[in-house]
Structure 1
Amino acid sequence: MPPSTRVHIEVNENMVPCNIPKSILLCSYLGVVARDSILAPTSFSVWRNKGMEPFKKRMLAEV
């Protein structure tokens, strides 16, 4: 997908995705972001660590 492309995910009243193909696309992309050692380093054992803040901001910007 080109950068800045948005994927609209519709959810029902229980917050369960209704349009499965698009939600699979989003989940696959989030998995790629989570496995990126530059965006999500494994050197932090706790995500609440203050040192994780710059990494969290980069991940959100990426998504």
Structure 2
Amino acid sequence: MTLKNVLQFFQEVRLELSKVDWPSFQEFVGSTLVVLVLVCFFAVYLGIIDLGLSKLATYIFTVYGGY
């Protein structure tokens, strides 16, 4: 890999990035908020599922775990 190849690569990257249709600031903020809300929702949902399964496992091991 020569310096010429590296420079050509970055020139091509710059050219391709100029072709990208970037979102407006409003679209960016809206998409970011949707992602944050969904991440928070699923974090709480999975936390509740995890807590429930943990309590169930504790109950099962307490009742049936002893020999």
- The two structures have a TM-score, normalised by structure 2, of 0.31
With CA pairs under 8 Å and 6+ residues apart, which has the higher RCO, 1 or 2?
1
Which structure has more helix as a fraction of its residues? 2
Which protein has the larger Cα radius of gyration, Structure 1 or Structure 2? 2
